[in-house]
A and B are shown apart, each in its own frame.
Chain A
Amino acid sequence: MIKFEFIGIFLILISIVYTFYRKRYEVALPLIIVLITSLFLLYGSYSL
């Protein structure tokens, strides 16, 4: 099963590419995607 976390990273990668080709009226979309993904993906500073 593909985990949500990898989907999140994939969406951000698409957003980065999208920022180079998007139309003007969709300009906020990448920012909204990265903010929502960050909300679910960021857990803390310390690993292991």
Chain B
Amino acid sequence: MFIHNIDPVLLSIFGMEIRYYGLVFVIGFMLIFIVLMKQREKLNLTKDDVYDYIFYLIIFTVVGARIFEILFYEPYFYFGNPIEMLKIWKGGLSFHGGLSGIILWNYIFTRKKRLNFYDTSDILVIPAAFTLFLGRIANFINGELVGKITDMWWAVKFQDYEGFRHPTQIYEALKNLFISFLLIFLRRSNLKKGTLSWLFVLLYGILRFFIEFLKEQSSFIFGIPVTQVLSGLMIAVSLYFLLRK
């Protein structure tokens, strides 16, 4: 068993804090930037296109993640205190919203550049999955999104939460690492366009759905945890596209 006492602040500059979470976010997008830069000639993209793509990818990810957090997780709080919607530094980003933002921006960009949607998504899904792995490690460092109480030997005592709990952030990190390696393994296979992208969505949805059973839940739709509803939607949509192909 492990007692969590990790400081989420990496360093402080003139009173402004840099947290591991912010660092991981930036490293992740830099990774996506590097991968896209290496592949840009294959996609017929200029350097300027890549800069633009990543810039708006970050904007759409954060805005999408925030909108879902507001609409699906804490609507009463945010609509009662609208100024809080802007305060992303207080936390509150939803993975499913971030993914929706990414899909929307990728759709807009590829339409504008007359590319196939999957030309970019199949390339970027691997660094994105790896970024999600790092993101869950940052969640663990933050001591947020904790699991239910358990007596397993690997249980963790988080600050501000009573009892030893499932380190579901680590389970999710391992899930994302597994998906990353699987996609790396499959990328050289002769798969149809879009298979890697939808396979990521399917695997993420299935594994996340089950991990949610071990997590503390606070938001529900018709008695079902919001995250499981959204993950179920991921499974349904990805299956539709995978089987249709």
Contact = CB atoms under 8 A, between A and B. Distances in A.
Contacts of B52: 19, 27
Contacts of A46: 91-92, 139, 142, 144-145
B206 interface: no
Interface residues of A, number: 26
Majority secondary structure, A binding face: helix
A44 B16 contact: no
B58 interface: yes
Given A43-B91, A44-B19, A45-B92, 17 more contacts: A24-B48, A27-B48, A31-B58, A34-B58, A39-B25, A41-B22, A42-B22, A43-B8, A43-B21, A44-B138, A44-B139, A44-B142, A45-B145, A46-B144, A46-B145, A48-B91, A48-B92
Contacts of B142: 43-46
B51 A44 contact: no
A5 B135 CA distance: 21
A40 B74 contact: no
Interface of A: 4-6, 9, 12, 15-16, 19, 24, 27-28, 30-31, 34-35, 38-48
Tell me whether chain B's interface is mostly helix, strand or loop, or mixed: helix
Contacts of B135: 45
Contacts of B31: none
Interface in B46-60: 47-48, 51-52, 54-56, 58-59
Given A19-B52, A44-B19, A35 B88 contact: no
Interface of B: 8, 16-19, 21-23, 25-26, 29-30, 33, 47-48, 51-52, 54-56, 58-59, 62, 69, 74, 77, 86-95, 135, 138-139, 142, 144-145
B58 A38 contact: yes
Contacts of A41: 22, 88-89
Given A45-B139, A47-B91, A40 B51 contact: no
Given A19-B52, A35-B30, A38-B26, A45 B93 contact: yes
